[in-house]
Structure 1
Amino acid sequence: MTAAVLTTVLANAADAELEDWGPLDEATGSPMATHGLEVWVDGDKSAGIWQCAPGPSHWTLETNEVIYVVSGRMTVTPDGGEPSEVGAGDLAVFPVGWTGTWQIHETLRKAYAIF
């Protein structure tokens, strides 16, 4: 017997209509509006699109995350490390336990996978 495997496809991540996810909890300055769309969830694993307004935020990750930046740009600085510029077309991997800041310069839209 073969189990059916469903494939989830979001045809255009750049133009997908997103839901209001409220202000970013990790913001360290003025409130930062977020929007998103989960396209796949399996327990504590998920994938989707996330968008955030400009501003600073500080993160301590409890999961692994891979992102592909669809639009916008930010500076990512691990605590005690060197900053990296991340923008449209870039792929970044943040391992569980990563701690640092994201300074979003232009509204950022990313495709993400959390696992």
Structure 2
Amino acid sequence: MKEVKVWKPSEEEMREAKKWPTWSKEESVFDWYYDEDEQFYVVEGVVEVTLEDGRKIQFGPGDMVKFPAGMRCTWHVKKPIFKHYRIG
């Protein structure tokens, strides 16, 4: 089973992540499919993601998150998100 990873990054991981492109989104609900692995560092916001099997994962400021390729889910952006991300 594919797993989403959420962790508190090291100082080095945060420094590297801050070099990645950024993305932001207002409060909203939308379906998403990851056709490639994606890793990101959350600067602001709170998101709850519902996975295909019904499990819920929540993340917010200071979290590093990794979604595997092939995962379908529904994002519920509870507080506007701003993140640095890397695909692949």
Q: Same fold (TM over 0.5)?
A: yes
Unmatched segments (≥5 aa) in structure 2: 1-14
1:4-83 → structure 2 map (5 Å cutoff):
47-83=20-56
State the identity as a percent: 29
Answer 1 or 2: which has greater helix percent: 2
CA-CA distance at 1:82 after TM superposition? 1.0
More deviation, 95-104/72-81: 72-81
| Cα RMSD after superposing both structures | 1.6
C-alpha distance in 1 between matches for 2:79 and 2:42: 12
Structure 1 stretches of 4+ moved >2 Å = none
Structure number with greater Rg is 1
- Structure 1, unpaired ranges of 5+: 1-9, 14-38, 40-46
- Count the aligned residue pairs: 72
Instruction: Supply the AA of the counterpart residue of 1:51.
Output: S
- SS of 1:63's equivalent in the other structure is coil
Distance 1:65 1:81 in 2: 20
Which structure has more relative contact order (CA 8 Å, sep 6+)? It is 2
Letter in 1 for 2:84: A
How many Å apart are 1:49 and its aligned residue?
Answer: 0.4
Deviation per residue, 1:52-84 (Å, 9 max, x gap): 011101011111100110001110111113101
Structure 2: distance between partners of 1:76 and 1:86: 9
Mapped pair 1:93 → 2:66: yes
Deviation, structure 1 residue 91? 1.1
